[in-house]
Amino acid sequence: MYRQGDVLIVPVTVAEVPEAVRVGGPRVRAPRERMVLALGESTGHAHAVVASNDEGDFYPAPSESEPAFLHLPRGGRVVHEEHGTILLPEGWFRVVRQREYEPQALRSFRMVAD
C-alpha cells in the first residue's frame, strides 16, 4: 500500500478490478503531463501520477463512496507539491480518498481536505 496525504493507493490484481472499468469505463489516459488523482481543497495542489513511458490510465471514482482505479503497465510516480514522490511498480491500483466521520452533519462522512 502507498499513502500520500489523504490518498491511499492499493495494489490489486486484475481480477479485483470491476469488469466495467477494464472494458472501457471513463478514463484519463496518458500521455499527458500528469493524471490528477485528487485536488487539494485548501491549497489547489494536486496528487497526480506521471506514468512511465507515458503509458497509463486513470479511471475516476463514479461517486465519493466508490474507489477510483489506476493502471500503470510500466509503473510511474505519484507527485504532489507538498509531499514526497512515491514510485509505483507496474500494475493495477485501487485509489481511495480518506474520509472522516462527521456526527453532526446530515451526511455522516466527508472527504478529508488536504
- Mean pLDDT calculated for residue range 51-69: 87
pLDDT bracket for residue 74 (50, 70, 90) = very high
Residues facing 111 on adjacent strands: 99
pTM of the predicted structure, to 2 decimals: 0.80
